Structure 1
Amino acid sequence: MRLRISRTTWPRPALVLTDTPRPRCPDCQGKGGHAVDYGDHNGEYAGTDWWPCPCWDDTRRWTLLPLPRRRRRTGWRDPWGNGGYSDEPPF
């Protein structure tokens, strides 16, 4: 088990401790699996299948610290103007 800390944004922002693929794995060369492209009956690209390698369990993760969400901005207001307009000259 090779652990690392990463940041996730779904379902809410958090720091999570995750497992990583074995870097010297002879099957996946440290990528964690194999991506296989496939096509439809016309030979056009139709998608990619992902086959995970047994050296890595991508479901093994633990939430360490939930992070606060960013506040939504309600709009920008000029703190020196009244209603966003000023009668002062620019100099």
Structure 2
Amino acid sequence: MLRLRIRLAHWPRRTLILTDTPRPDCPDCDGEGGHNRDYGDYETGEYAGTEWDPCHCWDENRRWPLLPLPRIPRRHRPHADPWGNGYNDEPPF
């Protein structure tokens, strides 16, 4: 059974997508969709990173694009000081 939701994807372009979600009553992942697993360096045993192990209750690659969103151009403000913080430091303060 699919548990669908709408999400916003940013790559390669902003798009609304329909995606599957983890099963909320899954006994293996408790609805999280997987587990983080820390691992260490083989020689020293020090922390080397974290890997994500997805759960079998969902497919994180199952998604369908619904609607590409338009690119909104940024407004150019020629009168704004690029080094300023938006406040005027001229008297009176």
Does the pair score TM above 0.5? yes
- Give 1:76 shift: 2.4
Q: Does 1:13 find its partner at 2:17?
A: no
1:23-79 Cα shifts (integer Å, max 9, x gaps): 11000000101110001132321111111111010111000000011314455248x
The gaps in structure 2 that reach 5 residues or longer are: 81-93
Query: Identity over aligned residues, as a percent?
Result: 64
Q: TM-score scaled by structure 1?
A: 0.77
- Give 1:7 shift: 0.5
Q: Does 1:52 find its partner at 2:60?
A: no
Tell me which stretches of 4 or more aligned residues in structure 1 moved more than 3 Å.
72-75
Bigger drift between 64-73 and 29-38 goes to: 64-73
Which residue of structure 2 lines up, in the alignment, with residue 43 of structure 1?
Answer: 45
Alpha-carbon RMSD across the aligned residues, in angstroms, is 1.5
How many residue pairs get aligned? The number is 78
Which residue of structure 2 lines up, in the alignment, with residue 86 of structure 1?
Answer: none
* Letter of the 1:21 counterpart: P
The gaps in structure 1 that reach 5 residues or longer are: 79-91
Looking at structure 2, the residues matched to 64 and 76 of structure 1 have their Cα atoms a distance apart, in angstroms, of 37
Which residue of structure 2 lines up, in the alignment, with residue 61 of structure 1?
Answer: 63
